[in-house]
Structure 1
């Protein structure tokens, strides 16, 4: 946690007075570290860990001495009547009824006591204590899984920003190239060496290129907002990314990733912990057939009087105490415990089946991610070569057009092919980046660099 905080301070210490639209410069690792601390999902996961720690304390407390105090002050507007048989030798012949009504009690009574109990044996307590510890472990795994999901989302969003920046640069270069060509063609048209339709074709191409530039700028803004959302950074702050795609994806790293064995997936740890919790629930339901034993005791002082001002006279107060052991023996509960045990056993079978499926799905996920990354790298290589070829074709078409041996239509088509090759290259580049993140996830390698 201290490492996380250090990273956050490193990013924002120089911006302690950040105002809206001030720029925070971010590397990918900076963005990940900030997101781990500030994304709403990781915040809630850490709060869930605090809840689990409190649950452990709560469960432990049930095995500690329980002490409660009590106080009462009672008033009887009418003292209860007790009926006695009107029979010799204590009968009253002057009373015609066969019972004698007698009031036993006083108008006011009060008491002050302390009750004490200590669990001696309860099988559910020990199982519950272990279950609470296991639940705490599960919330730790949940936090790790949430952090992994945040890292995945931040990486993809960060790459989206980088790709859109490249897209803007290419679109600006295309627009500048088309503007130059349009200017030259207008001059040729005015000199009588080019037709009006030649100017119109290039003007159409220029308008399309300008539209692509505006779309690229919009996509760039949207991708930055998505990155801020994944980071948990307020939208009023402006960010800029400081790395480029080649720095983040060196070829040797990609090749190493394709042969990486990977690590155990956190999802499997979560499932195993859920299985352990279900087994503990089964054990808890089983031990409930056993009796529970508690040590109990109480001390009490009670007083009474016919008048309120005499209730608390010392002569009217008397003490009492009790020490004992109580045992609760379950006999018959309508087979509810048996039903819960059967349900637990079915749940355990479900989780075991899910674990087998999860292991197989992880293998399939790794194979698919490796295949996709290899395929995307091959496509990227082809598109890179295709982009270079499209540039050469455009340069040749431009030279031919300037020398009067090539047509305007040929040049416009070459420019259109170049733009298409650029966007195919960007698409292949982005697909490769996403496939890389997916393979890292499949191998269990998604993590932030905490050494910075």
Structure 2
């Protein structure tokens, strides 16, 4: 049977059109795949890894379980082992690796990076497909067939649609969302650095607390030894008839007080050790002790004014407020875009067939552009933009507030450092005099010239002098660590503020 020429030309045109649409669809899918791979590669970020000093050799036994949900169920799993000595640098390295708050900050950064990639996905076209298969029989058609004396048969339609879409103009909504996501990543990255430096300061202060507790135990033990020596001298002199029984009783009271102070100091030492273990997030059976001796940490060679200016330059808290300001500005653009025109392109290809009839599969296509413009939304977009303007103003005010706090922290650390430097000299001289005074009082008491009260007074003076010098050195070290934190940890930024180890 010959097909008429117009019908034949129409079929050929339809066939060519179908081929063109199919080709465009394949090209669109390929382009989407390639762009997705490019975007994924460009969005890759360097892994967030803790900064660990190379000189710190850390045994694996100190690290906690890899499973954060691990919960011990037997006493053996939480029984402490022998205390492991660690240096301050090792403690800082362990905290940067294991501290839970720091880990949460890194995970928050990774979440923001994923949100950024989600926002960047709006730069690519979308491809969606839909298929539908059903078997249906309309009740109204059955009634009509009964009126006509015919029997209706169910229909079995099978159809599908493949559509490609792309937003070519969004009035700044897409770029605003991407910009806000980028600033959020920057904010969270700065927050990781902020917590890293704060963790360093917290570990340093906790380590100094442990050193102080250790020294208090040593001083208390020396006090017990001195009290025992005084009791032995009193007993020897009492046997020679040089002192009264009351001196022995007083020496025993002094020894009992010294032993009680030693017990309290040992208890505080245990608590300080466990506080450091908790901050470092170590294993359940791990216990630690300070390996570094107590000594002056170093010097600060910048003036107060130079320290303040350098803190303004380095502190990430100031940069975070600027990032918050930029986030608010980008969110304002997104809010205003909701009331502005949005233009998108689309192209789709449809196929439909009824499996219950004798006709072949039929297809079709559609292509065009869509314009969406929300002319009136009750002022929702305008008020949302007003909220973001206020958020920007809040960030600016917090910037000024943070700047004032930074200056105060620098001044506080600087003044405390100077005061404690003078205290070290005074306490060292007083300690030498207290040691000489105890030796003199003991010699006088053994020779029957002095009294037991003189010895006890000299022992108390020596203990007080030792404590004062210990506090002066550790308070100096704490002030130095606070000042380093206030100017954003100069030791890792290679700035001109250098530290020199004391003798």
Q: Normalising by the residue count of structure 2, what TM-score does the alignment of the two structures yield?
A: 0.77
Alpha-carbon offset, residue 146 of structure 1: 0.8
Structure 1 Cα separation of the partners of residues 400 and 192 of structure 2: 23
Alignment of 1:60-139 (within 5 A): 60-80=120-140, 106-122=154-170, 123-139=172-188
Matched with 2:324 is 274
Structure 1 Cα separation of the partners of residues 301 and 227 of structure 2: 39
Q: Does 1:403 align with 2:403?
A: no
Alpha-carbon offset, residue 326 of structure 1: 0.9
Structure 2 Cα separation of the partners of residues 220 and 161 of structure 1: 7
Secondary structure of residue in 1 paired with 2:375? coil
Alignment of 1:269-348 (within 5 A): 269-305=319-355, 310=356, 315-348=359-392
Q: In the alignment, which of 38, 57, 70 is matched to residue 10 of structure 1?
A: 57
Provide, for residues 61-109 of structure 1, a one-character-per-residue CA deviation record: whole Å limited to 9, x for no partner: 122121122122233353456999xxxxxxxxxx9xxxx9x99995432
Structure 2 Cα separation of the partners of residues 359 and 82 of structure 1: 81
Q: In the alignment, which of 150, 159, 170 is matched to residue 219 of structure 2?
A: 170
Alignment check: 8 A CA contact 1:135 1:277 kept: yes
Structure 2 Cα separation of the partners of residues 144 and 180 of structure 1: 54
Alpha-carbon offset, residue 241 of structure 1: 2.8
Provide, for residues 30-73 of structure 1, a one-character-per-residue CA deviation record: whole Å limited to 9, x for no partner: 21122111101111111112111111111111221211221222
Secondary structure of residue in 2 paired with 1:49? helix
Q: Choose 315-324 or 143-152, whichever is displaced more.
A: 315-324
Secondary structure of residue in 2 paired with 1:33? helix
Instruction: Note the residue ranges of structure 1 that are not aligned, 5 or more in a row.
Output: 85-94
Q: Cα gap change, 1:103/1:446 in structure 2, threshold over 3 Å: closer, same or farther?
A: farther
Q: Cα gap change, 1:34/1:398 in structure 2, threshold over 3 Å: closer, same or farther?
A: same
Q: Choose 316-325 or 377-386, whichever is displaced more.
A: 377-386
Alignment check: 8 A CA contact 1:29 1:448 kept: no
Alignment check: 8 A CA contact 2:203 2:279 kept: yes
Provide, for residues 408-438 of structure 1, a one-character-per-residue CA deviation record: whole Å limited to 9, x for no partner: 1222122122223322333333332222222
Give the aligned length.
426
Structure 2 Cα separation of the partners of residues 272 and 15 of structure 1: 39
Alignment of 1:28-427 (within 5 A): 28-80=88-140, 106-122=154-170, 123-246=172-295, 249-250=297-298, 253-254=299-300, 261=307, 262-263=310-311, 264-305=314-355, 310=356, 315-427=359-471
Provide, for residues 249-306 of structure 1, a one-character-per-residue CA deviation record: whole Å limited to 9, x for no partner: 13xx24558675234211101111111111111222233333111111222222225x
Q: Normalising by the residue count of structure 1, what TM-score does the alignment of the two structures yield?
A: 0.85
Q: Choose 212-221 or 398-407, whichever is displaced more.
A: 212-221
Structure with the higher fraction of residues in strand conformation = 1
Structure 1 Cα separation of the partners of residues 329 and 128 of structure 2: 35
Secondary structure of residue in 2 paired with 1:192? coil
Instruction: Note the residue ranges of structure 2 that are not aligned, 5 or more in a row.
Output: 1-47, 66-76, 495-503
Alpha-carbon offset, residue 340 of structure 1: 1.4
Provide, for residues 115-148 of structure 1, a one-character-per-residue CA deviation record: whole Å limited to 9, x for no partner: 2211211121111112211111111101001101
Alignment check: 8 A CA contact 2:194 2:316 kept: yes
Structure 1 Cα separation of the partners of residues 169 and 450 of structure 2: 98
RMSD over aligned Cα atoms: 3.2
Q: Cα gap change, 1:68/1:104 in structure 2, threshold over 3 Å: closer, same or farther?
A: farther
Q: Cα gap change, 1:27/1:394 in structure 2, threshold over 3 Å: closer, same or farther?
A: same
Provide, for residues 136-164 of structure 1, a one-character-per-residue CA deviation record: whole Å limited to 9, x for no partner: 11111010011011101100011112222
Alignment check: 8 A CA contact 1:7 1:30 kept: no
Q: Cα gap change, 1:275/1:103 in structure 2, threshold over 3 Å: closer, same or farther?
A: farther
Alignment check: 8 A CA contact 1:79 1:104 kept: no
Q: Choose 2-11 or 278-287, whichever is displaced more.
A: 2-11
Structure 2 Cα separation of the partners of residues 44 and 446 of structure 1: 25
Q: Choose 353-362 or 11-20, whichever is displaced more.
A: 11-20
Alignment check: 8 A CA contact 1:383 1:425 kept: yes
Alpha-carbon offset, residue 14 of structure 1: 9.2
Q: Choose 190-199 or 8-17, whichever is displaced more.
A: 8-17
Alignment check: 8 A CA contact 2:190 2:316 kept: yes
Structure 1 Cα separation of the partners of residues 133 and 488 of structure 2: 66
